[in-house]
Structure 1
Amino acid sequence: MGAGGTAAVEIIRGHLRHLLIGTSPLDVEQRWDQMYSSGLLYGRRGLFPMALSAVDNALWDIAGKYAERPITEMIGGWPRERLAIYQTGGNIPEALARGVRNFKIGTPVGPHTPPDEQNRVVERVLAARDTIGPDANLMIDCVSRNGTADWAVGYAQQLRPANLYFMEELLSPDDVFGYAELVRRIGGGGPGWTRVACGEHEYTEHGFDVLVRNQAAEILQPDITWCGGLTAGKRIRDLVEGAGLELIPHRGGSVWGLPIALTARTCTMAESFPAQSPILDAMSPPSDNGDYVAPTTPGFGSTLTEEMVLDARLPGTF
Structure 2
Amino acid sequence: MAQPTVTDIRAYVLRGGGADYHDQQGTHWIDDHIATPMSRYPEYRESRRSFGLNVLGTLVVVVEASDGSTGFAVTTGGEPAAWIVERHLSRFVLGAPVTALERIWDQMYSATLFYGRKGLVLNAISGVDLALWDLLGAVRQEPVHEMIGGAVRDEQRFYATGARPDLAVRMGFLGGKLPLHHGPAEGAEGLAANLALLADMRAAAGPDAWLAYDCWMSLDTDYALRLARGAAEHGLRWIEEPLPPDDYWGYQKLRKALPPGTLLTTGEHEATRWGFRMLAEMGCADILQPDVGWCGGLSELLRITAIADAHGLLVVPHGSSVYSYHFAVTRHNSPFSEFLMMAPAADEVVPMFHPQLLDEPVPTDGRLSVSTLDKPGFGVRLDPGLPLHRPYPR
**Structure 1 length as normaliser, TM-score?**
0.91
Q: CA deviation at 1:66?
A: 1.2
2:322 corresponds to: 255
How far 1:38 sits from its partner (Å)? 0.9
Cα deviations by residue, 1:223-277 (Å, 9 ceiling, x for unpaired)? 000001111111111111111011111005x011112222221223211122466
Residue 217 of structure 1 pairs with residue 271 of structure 2: no
8 Å Cα contact 2:156/2:335 also seen in 1: yes
Give 1:148's match in structure 2, choosing from 214, 217, 220.
220
Instruction: Pick from 358, 368, 372 the counterpart of residue 292 of structure 1.
Output: 368
Confirm or deny: 8 A CA contact 1:108 1:143 kept in the other structure. no
Q: Contact 1:241/1:264 (CA < 8 Å) preserved in 2?
A: no
1:172 aligns with 2:244: yes
Deviation string, structure 1 residues 126-158 (Cα, Å, up to 9, x no partner): 11111111111111100101x221221111111
3-state SS, counterpart of residue 323 of structure 2 = coil
1:89-116, Cα deviation, whole Å (9 max, x unpaired): 1544543332112210000433222321
Relative distance call for 1:163 and 1:35 in structure 2 (3 A) is: same
Q: Mark the runs of 5 or more structure 2 residues left unpaired by the alignment.
A: 1-73, 344-352
Question: Are the equivalent residues in 2 in contact too, given 1:282–1:302 (CA < 8 A)?
Answer: yes
Partner of 1:124: 197
Instruction: Output the CA distance in 2 between the equivalents of 1:259 and 1:200.
Output: 18
Counterpart secondary structure, 2:176: strand
**What amino acid does structure 1 have at the position aligned with 2:245?**
P
User: Structure 1: which amino acid aligns with 2:305?
Assistant: R
1:264 aligns with 2:331: yes
CA gap of 1:30–1:202, structure 2 versus 1, over 3 A, is same
Contact 2:271 2:296 in 1 (8 A): yes
**Aligned partner of 2:106 among 23, 33, 49:** 33
Change in Cα spacing, 1:281 to 1:65, as seen in structure 2 (3 Å) is closer
Tell me the equivalent position of 1:65: 138
Q: SS at the partner of 2:322?
A: coil
Alpha carbons 1:72, 1:262 under 8 Å: kept:
yes
- 1:245 is the counterpart of 2:290: no
One-letter amino acid of the counterpart of residue 139, structure 2? Y
Could you say which residue in structure 2 is the equivalent of 1:193?
261
Identity score, percent: 34
Distance in 2 between residues matched to 1:282 and 1:257, nearest whole Å = 17
Specify whether residues 71 and 151 from structure 1 end up closer, same or farther in structure 2 by C-alpha distance, changes over 3 A only. same
1:281, 1:13 → 2: CA distance?
22
What is aligned with 1:235?
303
For residue 174 of structure 2, what is the amino acid of its counterpart? Answer: R
CA distance in 1, matches of 2:221, 2:151: 35
The answer as to whether partners of 1:279 and 1:304 remain within 8 angstroms in 2 is no
Structure 1 unaligned residues grouped into runs of 5+? none
1:99 aligns with 2:172: yes
SS of the equivalent of 2:355 reads helix
In the alignment, residue 336 of structure 2 is paired with which amino acid? M
1:274 aligns with 2:341: yes
1:303 aligns with 2:381: yes
Distance 1:280 1:100, change over 3 A: farther
Q: Which residue is 1:18 aligned to?
A: 91
| Residue 52 to residue 166, structure 1, CA distance change in 2 (3 Å) | same
Structure 1 305/121 Cα, relative in aligned 2: closer, same or farther at 3 Å?
Answer: same
Match in the other structure for 2:29: none
Structure (1 or 2) with the greater strand fraction:
2
RMSD (Å) for aligned C-alpha atoms: 2.0
Q: Which amino acid aligns with 1:293?
A: S
State the distance in 2 between where 1:124 and 1:86 align.
19
For residues 255 and 358 of structure 2, the distance between their equivalents in structure 1, rounded to whole angstroms, comes to 38
Selected match of 1:4 from 72, 77, 86: 77
**Equivalent residues of 1:84, 1:290 under 8 A apart:** yes
Counterpart-to-counterpart distance in 2, 1:283 and 1:36: 31
Alignment-mate amino acid for residue 222 of structure 2: D
Q: 1:2 to 1:104 in 2, by over 3 A?
A: same
Q: What do residues 205-240 of structure 1 show as CA deviations (whole Å, max 9, x unaligned)?
A: 111001111111111000000001111111111111
From the two aligned structures, give the one with the greater helix fraction.
1
- The code of the aligned residue for 1:268 comes to P
| Count of residue pairs brought into register by the alignment | 309
Provide the C-alpha distance between the structure 1 equivalents of 2:167 and 2:230, rounded to a whole number of angstroms.
27
TM-score (ref. length: structure 2): 0.74
2:49 aligned residue: none
Q: Which amino acid aligns with 2:140?
A: A
Offset at 1:316? 4.4
For 1:160 and 1:57, how far apart are their aligned partners in 2?
39
Change (3 A) 1:87 1:282: farther
